[in-house]
Amino acid sequence: MKLAGIHHVSAISADISKNHDFFTRILGMRLVKKSVNQDNPSSYHLFYADAVGTPGTDMTYFDIPMAGRTYPGVSSISNTGLRVKSEAALQFWKKRLHDLEVPHDEISEMFGRKTLYFEDFEGSRMRLVVDDGNGIPFGEPWIKEEISGENAIVGLGPVTLTLKNPEPTKKVLEQILGFTLIGSYPSAITDAPDIQVYSVGKGGPAGEVHIETREDLPRERPGRGSVHHVAFRIPHMDDYPKWEELLRAKGYTTSGLVDRHYFKAIYFREPNGILFELSTDEPGFDTDEKQEMLGEKLALPPFLEPRRKEIEAKLRPLSINK
């Protein structure tokens, strides 16, 4: 059994309309699924991805209007990477973020790659990362009037975990999930240990988890803009129940086998309390919508379909940008 890289990253928004505008208009990603939180269907769950919803390209947000501010700290997913194809694309994004008044740093280097850190209006911590294309394949660009295929975001990049004691998490990555330590790079924090890079699947940014050690920070208090969980790809459906068996055999309490309609999932918390998910590539976001119409209407999994009128009545209007 082998994982194939990052499947998706899910975060929290207190203003889902502005969140939708940021990811579709400013970042140019496609809304591939307009759905609801299956555990709380009175609120939206939006999925932003490439042109066709390729596994490994989607950043998702839960709609939690009362979410307070995030107090950053350890036991957190502290940064989410987004891949671009070239340094020229990174220069395009630097200018675009500047012109649209999105907070960002200067272009820098991280693990031998050019990168650009930025934050959305709620403080979601992200970075654009140049991928040379030699690892996990790019997604299919969603071409917009202002964003060409060469400049488009083409998938998720590395996720960074910030931990006080990283050793138990490293053991989970290496001994259970099949990641390999491939190197390290200096932390931007004075006197902090180097950040270690773990890789899975065909490699490259889309298969990486970066481990940052920060003994000086308290535990993160999550809120708007914080990341809820990271999911890793199960490429073969036959392996799905086997991962559940393996996790339980290793002593982990899991969610059991959870059918999310667009993929099947298993959730568990690693020793530092971060929520990991293992998700299947299949069946995909076009299981209930035509490819050309993804994200245009409210999509509900079959078990919620009988409650459609009730659910739609409680949801706030949300305009869709194509």
CA atoms within a 13 Å half-sphere pointing along the CA-CB vector of 224: 18
> What does the longest C-alpha to C-alpha distance in the chain come to?
57
**Tokens 């339980």 — which residue?**
248
CB 78 within 8 A of CB 90: no
Residue 122 is predicted with a pLDDT of 97
DSSP codes of every residue in 105-153: ---EEETTEEEEEEE-TT--EEEEEE--SSSSPP------SSS-TTTS-
C-alpha to C-alpha distances, 146 to 47, 63, 152, 294, nearest whole angstrom:
21, 27, 10, 21
Residue 318 is predicted with a pLDDT of 81
CB 68 within 8 A of CB 84: no
Q: Hey, what domains does the chain have and what are their CATH numbers? A: 6-314 (3.10.180.10)
Residue 322 is predicted with a pLDDT of 54
Beta strand pairing call for 263-269 and 258-259: antiparallel
- Spatial distance between the Cα atoms of 38 and 43, rounded to a whole number of angstroms: 9
Residue 321 is predicted with a pLDDT of 58
pLDDT of the chain, 322 residues: tens digit per residue: 999 999 999 999 999 999 999 999 999 999 999 999 998 898 999 999 999 999 999 999 999 999 999 999 999 999 999 999 999 999 999 999 999 999 999 999 999 999 999 999 999 999 999 999 999 999 999 999 999 999 999 999 999 999 999 999 999 999 999 999 999 999 999 999 999 999 999 999 999 999 999 999 999 999 999 999 999 999 999 999 999 999 999 999 999 999 999 999 999 999 999 999 999 999 999 999 999 999 999 999 999 999 999 999 989 888 665 5
CB contact set of 1 (below 8 Å; sequence gap of 6+): 178, 236, 239, 242, 243, 246
pTM: predicted TM-score of the whole model, two decimal places: 0.95
CB 56 within 8 A of CB 139: yes
Residue 170 is predicted with a pLDDT of 98
- 93 in helix, strand or coil? helix
Residue 314 is predicted with a pLDDT of 87
> Rg of the chain over CA atoms, in angstroms?
19
- Spatial distance between the Cα atoms of 80 and 82, rounded to a whole number of angstroms: 7
Residue 124 is predicted with a pLDDT of 96
